[in-house]
Amino acid sequence: MASEYDSSDNEDVVFDEEIPDPVMDIERIQLSLGALFEKNSEGKPRLFDSSVDRVGEMDILRYRIPLRQRYGANNWSLPDKQLLVDSVFKRMPIQGITVSQQSSWRDVEDGASRLTVLQNYYNDGFVYKNKKFSDLDRTFQNRFEQYVVSIDVVTGTADDIDELFQRLNRCKPLQDADRYKSMERISPLVDAALKLMTEPHWEKKFWNTHTFSDTNRKCLPDVCGLVATLAFGANYTSTSSARLQEVLRKPMPLNFTELASDFCKYYYRIKRRVEETDNIVRKQMLWHKISKQCGLILQDYIDQTSPMSLKEKEDMWVEIMTIARSVEHFFYNKQTLFASLPKGVRQNALKSDLQKKLERIRKFYDKEKREDFCMVEGIEWQ
C-alpha cells in the first residue's frame, strides 16, 4: 500500500530511522505592528529598522535582519506591497514571523521582507488607496498599528539556526547567490570564495565582483564554482548550490590560496594576450562566467591527463579566445565551434558536457587537421 507521504519531490532529503531529539526551544509571542515599529523621542525606531545597514546601528535594536538574509522586499512590485497592506487592514493573516534569539537581539529568519514592506508603508514609503500612512484618519492608523503578528522565538546552536534558515527557505524561490551567502559562517568553500574576492591578486572588474555587496550578490555563484573546481576537481565546475552541496562543508585544501593565485595569474595572462589583437567584433567576453570559457579553461587547467604543457594550453586558449573576439558566432551565440554537438551539450556545464566541448576545442587547435575537421563538423570561423 502506498504511503500517504510522497517523497518523490524530496529525494535529496535523507532522514535517520530514529526519531530525533529536540534541538531548539520555541516561544511564541505576539506583538502589534505599532509596538514593533514604535519610535523614540528622536523619531528613530526602538525595536526594528529595516532601512539601516545590518551592522553598526542595527546592533542596538531588539530585532534585526541578519546578513545572510536577502533584501527580498526590493523585488516586490507596488501592487504586491499594497496587497500586503490591504491584508492588514482587512485583518487577514499575513503569516507568522520566525526569529532566532542571539545574545542581546533577535535575528529575523523568516518574514523580513514582509516586515520591511509594512514598515516602509508605516514610514510613508509608498501609497495605499492613493494615500500615505500619515494621510490616513487616525482611526485607520490605529487599525494598522493594532494589527498583531505572531512571532516564534527560537533558541538553538548556530548550526541549528543555519539549518532552520535553509529549511524555512527550502520551498521558496531562494537563488543560489542567497543560498551561498546564507552559508558563509558554516561553509569553508563560501568563506574561501568571499576571502578570495579580497585577495591582492584578485582583479575585481575582471571577475565582475566590483559591485559585490550584501544587496548585490549575483557574482557569488561563479566565484564559488571557481573555488570548488580548484579545491575539489572537475566534477564541481558549476554555479549550482545543489551541485556543490556535498563539498560546501568540506575543509579547504591547505594550499588553496596558492592554487587560486596561480590560476588567476594564468587566466590573466590569457586575457592580456587576447586583448593585444586589434580585430574586435565582440567586446563582452564573459571571462567571469563559469558556464562560458572560464569553466572550460578551468577544466583544461586542472586536467592532469592532457599531454599538453601549461604553456601549450595557454597558447591554445589565446588562439581560441582571439578568434572568439573577432568572429561573432564562433564561441558565443550560435556557437559554430560546437555546431554539431547536441543542444544540451552546448548549453550545459556538466563535467561530461564540458569535456566534450574541450575535446572539440583541442581538435580544432590541431592546425594540420583543422580544415578537414571544420568541414566535417560544420564549423565556420573565417
Domain identity same for 74 and 141 = yes
Cβ-based neighbour number of residue 25 at 10 Å: 10
Give the pTM: 0.64
Angle subtended by helix axes 310-326 and 351-365, to nearest 10: 90
Within a domain: 263: yes
Question: Domain ends where: 168, 199, 215?
Answer: 168
CA–CA separation, 26 vs 155, rounded Å?
7
Same domain, 96 and 185: no
Q: Cell numbers at residue 380, please? A: 565556420
The last residue of a domain, from among 168, 188, 218: 168
Confidence tier at 146 by pLDDT (50, 70, 90): very high
Residue 9 belongs to some domain of the structure: no
Task: Give me the domain span that covers residue 318.
Answer: 176-377
Q: How far is Cα 295 from Cα 349, in angstroms, rounded to an integer?
A: 8
**Model pLDDT, residue 337:** 87
* Backbone angles phi and psi of 72, in degrees to 5: -60, -30
Share of the chain above pLDDT 70, in %: 90
**Domain end: 149, 168, 187, which one?**
168
* Residue 310 lies inside a defined structural domain of this protein: yes
pLDDT over 70 at 115, yes or no: yes
109 contacts: CB under 8 Å, gap ≥ 6: 66, 69, 98, 99, 100, 154, 161, 164, 165, 168
Task: Quote the percentage of the chain above a pLDDT of 90.
Answer: 56
- Residue 306 forms part of a structural domain: yes
Residue 95: pLDDT band with limits 50, 70, 90: confident
**Do 148 and 192 belong together in one domain?**
no
Are residues 187 and 127 part of one domain? no
Judge if 216 and 146 occupy the same domain. no
Return the SS3 of 98.
strand
- Residue 53 within a domain: yes
CA dihedral (331, 335, 338, 344) in degrees, to 10, reads 120
Rounded distance between C-alpha atoms, residue 319 and residue 197, angstroms: 28
Claim to verify: residue 308 and residue 325 sit in the same structural domain: yes
Local confidence band at 9 (pLDDT 50, 70, 90 cut-offs): very low
User: Does a structural domain hold residue 11?
Assistant: no
Residue 297 forms part of a structural domain: yes
Q: Under DSSP, is residue 280 helix (H, G, I), strand (E, B) or coil?
A: coil
Task: Report which of 297, 292, 267, 266 is spatially closest to residue 206, judged by C-alpha positions.
Answer: 267
**Domain for residue 190, yes or no?**
yes
